[in-house]
Structure 1
Amino acid sequence: MKSVSRWILLLPFAVIVLAIVVQSLADASMQVVRHAVFDQYQRWQPRAYVEAPIRVIDIDEESLTRFGQWPWPRTLLARMSARLTDAGVAAIGFDVMFAEADRTSPRAIADLWRLDGGLRRDIEALPDHDQLFSRQLAQSEAVLGFALTRSGNDDKSPARKAAFVNLGENQIAWVHGFAGAVPALPELENAARGNGALTFVPDNDGVVRRVPLVLRQGDLPLPTLVSESLRVAQAAPVIFLRSAGHLQQMTGSRDNAGLGEIRIGELSIPTTPQGEIWVHYSGHQKARTLPAWRVLEDDAALASLAGHIVLVGSSAQGLMDLRFSPFGLVPGVEVHAEALEQILTGHYLERPAWAKGLEFAALVAGGLLAGFLALRTRAMIAAGACLLLMFAAGAGSWLAFTDSRLLIDPSLPLLGILWSFALCSLAHHFITERDQRWIRTAFARYVSPNRVAHLLEHQEDMALGGQRRTCSFIFTDLAGFTSLMEGIDPARAVALLNDYLDGMIAIAFRHEGTLDRIVGDAVAIMFSAPLAQADHCARALACAQEMEVFARDYSRRLIDQGIPFGATRIGVHAGEVIVGNFGGKTMFDYRALGDPVNTAARLESANKHLGTCVCVSETILAEVPDAEVRPVGKVVFKGKTHALAVFETLGPSSAAGRAPLDRYLTAYHALVADPAAATRLFAELHGDHPDDRLVAMQHRRLQDGQGGDLIVLADK
């Protein structure tokens, strides 16, 4: 058992290894869990909205109602740009694609209507809308957008207005790459101050959790709408890409993979290795948004926009610029705006490079502790400790999010702690159950098995006290064992006695008797306690008869070997007693108290005076009327005043030398009816069957002048 226990202590380590293997093989699934945790944190504590110089010019449903369906004429967008520029905005970022020519331009209308002649010349002489828009873009701090595609080729590349400088090793391979691009019209791109990608890189579940500041087409780094808007607003010509390795030299960080920071003008922005920032959503804020129709019609609405970066986009559902966030669907332009707000207010969510190491350490420490506690302590203590460890892991992750805005994933430590506790608790349960079986088996060598089983099911019966119950009792004793001890080696005598007792007790247990006690070579068995047995008298009688057969055979085998092993005497009686636990608080004993117990012991002892081996009382036979017995007489034990009818069982092992039952019964009935005839009949029986000791006892009584069936015993 000790070796097994030592091996089982390796189980927590095995569970930790299993958790690590599962995490590595099911990384995508674990990432889903991790993202679900971080999303819930955002829902519990969204970013507190802080006034920042960022506004969204929303082409909402009301604006479409006022100015017509999308796409609007570029002249209208030029007018909007002019009004925003006059209002003194720092940059205008268009979260809108201008990949095709304006369909409302004069030339496009002439082609659509298939005009010719003078009317076509007059219409074509009107200003082109894209030209008007490009001229206005040239006078504004405008940033246009382009889309990157996974498929296609790199023949079309957007105009890059920003220069990129690597600080440290070039880590552009870490940046999300795309094959093709859908740029704006060349004349518009050339006129604008900046050009940024509108492309998001959502996770596998479609949720946008990070916004890239740099993307790449092939090996060419490209800015995004967020980074380009910041560059144009600051009139910064260069975007610096600082590698994590270069950042290590400055901060002492050990991470040397991917990007670590992007610098735009006066802003130093910590990023993921892929050049992204985690978005901490604040949710929709009215203060952040200005309807497009107010920009076009309400001069007062423009007064507060000086120095702001404004993003032009749409929340109208029909335009389909909606993205999934932890809060549900949100306009894509708001995602860009929230990222800009975080940068300008210095509010960053970070998943530091050491997060995985910390999570791994928490997994190992928490899992091992939970496992060892489950193996070595009580279930309630282990369960409480497991809950405490899980709470600590969850609370630590939550506090890291709320206090330091760090994204530490508690899911792997939580799963490791839970798995370790569950599997180790299961192992502990199996070990405990095995030990209990072993203890039950061992305990059953001291206490009757039915008593052990009853106590396990009815622990309330462990209390001191007793109850009245009618039970049956068997008392046995081995004649001549003291002399045997003197005649052979004591160790040999003890071994023989143990074999004898083992056989006798096994018989009692087969009949579902309860071992009351063993006193030397004597055994006391009771029936109908602790579990009530309606047929306890029949059980006791059958048990006694089987014991008598076993004892005769065991004695005969030893005698054949030259070992004088004595005969076994058995007494069987039943009656009402007090059954229960008696003793004190320190120790108690389960037994029966009452006169029937003493009477059963007296019956066992009476065998040596009566010449019998098994004496059964009339109380037993009243419940087993068809038992094969012959009457002994009405016995008055020493110290008693009332006689008890006693009978001898007629087992097959004692048939040799026994008088025929019919002749014995004739002689016995004559004891009262005709003493003279009884004397003659028992004399004849004794002469014919001298080995029948009961007949010999009756003959001796009659010769001594003791007629009748009343037998008074002078000795115990």
Structure 2
Amino acid sequence: MSSPNTRLGFLLPLTVIAAMLLLYLLSPVPVQTLRNAAFDQYQRWQPRPYSDSPVLIVDVDEESLARVGQWPWTRTRLADLVERLHAAGATAIGFDVVFAEPDRTAPRAMAAEWRLSGTDAARIAALPDPDERFAAAMRGARVVLGLTVENGGTAPSGGQSTHRIVSRGDAALSSLPAFDSATLPIPALRSAAAGIGSISFQPDPDGIVRRVPMLVRLPQEIVPSMIAEVLRVSLAERNYVATGLAERPGLRSLRIGRHQIPTSPDGEAWIHYSRPAPQRYLPAWRILDGSAPETALRGRIVLVGTSAKGLLDLRFNPLGAAMPGVEAHAQLLEQIHAGHFLERPAWATAVEALAIAIGGLLVATLALRTGPLSSASATLAALLAIAAASWWSFIAWRQLVDPTLPVIALLLTFVAGSLVRHRGSERRHRWIRHAFSRYVSPNLVSHLVDNPGQLVLGGRRQHCSFIFTDLAGFTSLMERTDPGEAVSLLNDYLDGMIAIVFRHEGTLDRIVGDALAVVFSAPVEQPDHRRRAYECALDLHRFAQAHVEDLARQGVEFGRTRIGVHSGEVIVGNFGGSTIFDYRALGDPVNTAARLETLNKQLGTLVCVSDAIRDDCPGAFMRAVGDIVLKGRTQPLRVFEPLLHTDGTPLTENDSGYDEAYALMAAQDPRALSAFEQLAAERPGDALVAWQLNRLRSEGSGALVVMAEK
């Protein structure tokens, strides 16, 4: 069963997944732009290969304008063009042009322009009308004219339809793009045309033409596109068969004769562009002057359009190139004849949403419950799988499946899950650090956390300082006190002592019953470790003194604390076996510090420090004990006692009387005995003076002392 923290940890990744699903469903312009960018890249990596096609563009290019004259050409010229195309064997002719106005060069228009009247006007009016000439040429050929659709204009009056739309599915045509007005060819031309189709594009927000609507809705009727009408006319078909989606309103496909064209629900067909192909174009001037090859037009669908820059019919395609608008029609017609279709399948939306939801949940689970390397590797594999599946769908089946939002969703979910895990790890890290710091020195915990590589067996040489403490009379305290109360007393005492050690950034080496072993300058080196050790020892002494007095006021007898402080080179590191680490310092200075602590018992003192400590603590006032040869050692160690008030605070001056007596003793001057006798009489409670006096009386003079006991 998952813990509340685990369940809460899922909240952020789940929020990210929900937000990405909402973003996916709303599909704002940035999301559409990302999706289209991926599909564009696929087309750039694998454009449709161009092959010989029954579709040809008769191009009113720059040279045609230079040879024939500026645009618009007269309808008589266009009639000539139609007749030549029909005679050459074109199966259908589509004009990517809207002839919305009469020819400006018509005789009647010119008579009005020239303001003729009478006989002249009648003669001019009797001349052949170019529009009628154009209409007559169209009646003998299969010509499709263009119209444009828009919103905000006047609804068209309409004309006779030469097609019929058969709908399979009650809502097959319910999602078509709707417009309230259209610009139509003039009636004379409209009545002569074999068909009329929309040449309007609906580019995406970035201006790129990726799809062409096959059908659009006007208030009075449904209008096919230029592509659909040219194809229908070329096949001598009358019907369009619109098949709706089974699961929701919208169009699935449009059949024209033998061609079944998959569409989006709103009736758009995706264009899979090929690279520019010069053989797709034939200049219009070559048709008009008869220089075009006789076989160039036979059996072809001809689209008449313009690539001339001055006529402003340039569009952008996913390959990153500008193209004449008529080429979009031509490329889609090429696809239809080849049976080569790009399709965004109806199931793509569900699959992409599931990829976001299920993939996000899997990635979140991995990010929250496995290590960073495992979760990152699994997430990377999932991202690559999504991208590969999308690309494979494109190259194998020409299906457009969006990888962008699922990839982004999985990345964001992984980041969210990783942040939650990292935060949880940091929280556990802090908890473990806090918990261990109750048992192990905080500086040791921090050092090992920051330097896990040092958790290996072995050590290094290092100069460190050491404090050993022991509680006098602890055994007898345990004997005469209830065990529970004794443990409570000991815990209060140790809590206070350890807190002081940690405040001075000492490392607690170990606790043995009532005794503490403390090391400075390990594991983190401390240049002032001797000074730290000395000041820590004084604070420990001060606390111990105050603690004893506080308990005495409560009627509890508690022992005095003896302290030894020394410094020297040791081996510091982890020692033990393969199953346990024991971080500590090993070497003679450690044993010496322990012996100095026990030396207090013989001296009657409470704090003993070595000359190694005293030499690095200028300004600290101490008095010499002697050159002590500790039990088990051969070399003497000069030992000092700090000068302290009864409450443990340091004195701010030397003990000149003691120093003079000690100098006499060190010089083996016989006067040393009387000097210490005088001091003993003046200071009956001075334990060190009493010890020196007893030693002088029993052993003679001199500063060298060989200890027979530990």
Q: State the SS of the aligned residue for 1:301.
A: coil
Could you tell which deviates more after superposition, 155-164 or 598-607?
A: 155-164
Which piece of structure 1 moves more, 603-612 or 699-708? 699-708
Which residue identity does 2:676 align to in structure 1? F
Aligned residue number for residue 624 of structure 1: 617
Per-residue CA deviation, residues 268-309 of structure 1 (Å, 9 max, x unaligned), is: 322222222111111322222211122222355232322221
Measure the CA separation in 1 of the matches of 2:206 and 2:17.
28
Match of residue 182 from structure 1: 183
Aligned residue for 1:302, secondary structure, equals coil
Quote the offset at 1:674 in angstroms.
Answer: 6.7
Output the CA distance in 2 between the equivalents of 1:655 and 1:165: 108
SS at match of 2:96: strand
Name the residue aligned to 1:601.
Answer: 594
Pairing 1:311–2:285 present: no
Separation in structure 2 between the aligned mates of residue 156 and residue 505 of structure 1, nearest angstrom: 99
Corresponding residue for residue 272 of structure 1: 264
Match of residue 251 from structure 1: none
Q: Is the 8 A contact 1:173 1:219 kept in 2?
A: no
Show the counterpart of 1:18.
Answer: 19
Unaligned runs of 5+ in 1: 249-254
Structure 2 gaps of 5+ residues are none
Offset at residue 316 of structure 1 (A): 0.9
Residue 134 (str. 1) matches residue 135 (str. 2): yes
Instruction: Sort the Cα spacing of 1:26 and 1:693 in 2 relative to 1 into closer, same or farther, 3 A.
Output: farther
CA contact (8 A) 2:665 2:701 kept: yes
In structure 2, the residue matched to 1:497 is 490
**What does residue 665 of structure 1 align with?**
659
Cα distance change of structure 1 residues 554 and 310 upon mapping to structure 2, 3 Å threshold: same
1:646 lines up with 2:622 in the alignment:
no
Deviation sequence 1:239-269 (CA, Å, 0-9, x none): 233332xxx3xxxxxx231222222233332
Instruction: Classify 1:178/1:593 alpha carbon distance in 2 versus 1 (closer, same or farther; 3 Å).
Output: same
Letter in 2 for 1:362: A
Q: Which residue of 293, 297, 302 maps to 1:301?
A: 293
Contact 1:168–1:243 under 8 Å retained in 2: yes
Which moved further from structure 2: 471-480 or 99-108? 99-108
Q: Which moves more between the two structures, 484-493 or 70-79?
A: 484-493
Q: 1:481 aligns with which of 460, 470, 474?
A: 474
Partner of 2:170: 169
Once the two structures are TM-superposed, the CA of residue 490 in structure 1 deviates from its matched residue by: 2.3
- In 2, Cα distance between equivalents of 1:473 and 1:534: 14
Q: Secondary structure at the match of 2:646?
A: helix
Report 1:347-426 matches (<5 A).
Answer: 347-426=340-419
Contact (CA 8 Å) 1:635, 1:710: kept in 2 or not?
Answer: yes
Name the residue aligned to 1:590: 583
Residue matched to 2:529: 536
- The equivalent position to 1:519 in structure 2, one of 490, 512, 519, is 512
Matched letter for residue 163 of structure 1: R
Q: CA deviation at 1:516?
A: 2.0
Asked whether the equivalents of residues 12 and 372 of structure 1 are also in contact (C-alpha less than 8 Å), the reply is no
3-state SS of the aligned residue for 1:330? Answer: strand
Q: Which letter does structure 2 place at the counterpart of 1:79?
A: D
Determine the C-alpha separation between the residues in 2 that align with 1:203 and 1:470.
75
Q: Is the 8 A contact 2:167 2:173 kept in 1?
A: no
Runs of 4+ in structure 1 over 6 Å off: none
Partner residue in 2 for 1:236: 237
Structure 2 length normalisation: TM-score?
0.94
Deviation for aligned residue 1:69 = 1.0
Note the alpha carbon deviations across 1:214-258, whole angstroms, 9 max, x for none: 1121141112211111221122222233332xxx3xxxxxx2312
Report the counterpart of residue 252 of structure 1 in structure 2: none
Q: State whether structure 2 residue 324 is matched by structure 1 residue 323.
A: no
Q: CA deviation at 1:461?
A: 3.7
Q: Which whole-Å CA distance do the structure 2 matches of 1:130 and 1:674 have between them?
A: 143
Distance 1:62 1:549, change over 3 A: same
**Residue deviations 1:364-383, cap 9 Å, x none?**
12111111111112212222
Contact 1:172/1:219 (CA < 8 Å) preserved in 2?
no
Question: What letter corresponds to residue 336 of structure 2 in structure 1?
Answer: I
CA shift for structure 1 position 395: 1.2
Shift of 1:321: 1.4
1:85 corresponds to: 86
From 253, 265, 285, the counterpart of 1:261: 253
Q: Distance in 2 between matches of 1:542 and 1:68?
A: 106
Instruction: For 1:660 and 1:48, locate their aligned partners in 2 and report how far apart those are by CA, in whole Å.
Output: 103
The DSSP-based 3-state class of the residue aligned with 1:616 is strand
Is the CA contact 1:634–1:711 (under 8 Å) kept in the aligned structure 2? yes
Q: What letter matches 1:314 in structure 2?
A: T
Task: Specify the alignment match of 2:674 in structure 1.
Answer: 680
Tell me the distance in 2 between the aligned counterparts of 1:556 and 1:675.
Answer: 41
Hey, what does 1:40 align to over in structure 2?
41
User: Counterpart of 1:277 in 2: which secondary structure?
Assistant: strand
Distance (Å, rounded) in 1 between the aligned partners of 2:178 and 2:26: 25
Do the aligned residues in 1 keep the contact of 2:171 with 2:249 (CA within 8 Å)?
no
Give the TM-score, by structure 1 length. 0.93
Greater shift, 320-329 or 400-409, is seen at 320-329
Q: Tell me which of 526, 544, 549 is aligned to 2:542.
A: 549
* Aligned 8 A contact 1:84 1:302 in 2: no
Query: Could you say which residue in structure 2 is the equivalent of 1:434?
Result: 427
Q: How far, CA to CA, are the matches of 1:578 and 1:167 in structure 2?
A: 91
> 1:611-657 deviations in whole A, cap 9, x for unaligned?
1100111221122242122222221212223222211112223579x
What CA distance in whole angstroms lies between the structure 2 residues aligned with 1:226 and 1:459? 71
How far off is 1:675 after superposition? 5.5
Matched-pair contact (CA < 8 Å) for 1:618–1:646: yes
User: Compared with structure 1, are the counterparts of its residues 576 and 19 closer, same or farther at alpha carbon in structure 2 (3 Å cutoff)?
Assistant: same
Q: Distance in 2 between matches of 1:655 and 1:421?
A: 59
Residue matched to 1:704: 698
CA separation of 1:95 and 1:158: change in aligned 2, threshold 3 A: farther
- Distance in 2, Cα, partners of 1:271 & 1:654: 96
Between 1:609-618 and 1:298-307, the stretch displaced more is 298-307
Q: 1:577 and 1:259 mapped to 2: Cα distance? A: 86
Paired residues of 1:215 and 1:224 also in contact (CA < 8 A) = yes
CA distance in 2 between counterparts of 1:5 and 1:558 reads 48
Query: Is 1:509 the equivalent of 2:510?
Result: no
Task: Measure the CA separation in 1 of the matches of 2:409 and 2:511.
Answer: 54
Counterpart for residue 714 of structure 1: 708
Question: Partners in 1 of 2:699 and 2:403 — Cα distance?
Answer: 100
Whether 1:70 aligns to 2:71 is yes
Mapped to 1, the partners of 2:24 and 2:51 lie a distance apart of 38
Q: Shift of the alpha carbon at 1:545?
A: 0.8
Matches of 1:673 and 1:422, distance apart in 2:
78
Question: Deviation string for 1:76-97 (max 9, x for gaps)?
Answer: 2111111111122211111112
Percent of pairs with identical residues = 50
Instruction: State the shift of 1:186 in Å.
Output: 0.8
Shift of 1:132: 1.1
The change in CA–CA distance for 1:696 and 1:170 in structure 2 (over 3 A counts) is closer
Deviation of the 1:410 alpha carbon: 1.4
**Take 1:158 and 1:203, find their aligned partners in 2: how far apart are those partners?**
31
How far does the alpha carbon of each residue in 1:29-60 deviate from its partner, in whole angstroms, 9 at most, with x for none?
A: 21222122212221221112233211111111
Question: What's the CA shift for 1:705?
Answer: 4.5
Whichever residue aligns with residue 205 of structure 1, its letter is: D
Deviations 1:529-581 (A, max 9, x none): 23332322221111111111111222232333343321111111122233333
Aligned length: 706
Q: Following TM superposition, by how much is the alpha carbon of 1:326 offset from its aligned partner in structure 2, in angstroms?
A: 1.2
Q: Which moved more, 1:343-352 or 1:151-160?
A: 151-160
Structure 2 distance, partners of 1:696, 1:170, is 115
- For 1:704, what is the secondary structure of its paired residue? helix
1:97 aligned partner: 98
Amino acid of the residue matched to residue 85 of structure 1?
Answer: H
Secondary structure of 2:399's counterpart equals: coil
Q: Distance in 1 between matches of 2:41 and 2:367?
A: 30
Q: How many Å separate the matches in 2 of 1:468 and 1:170?
A: 87
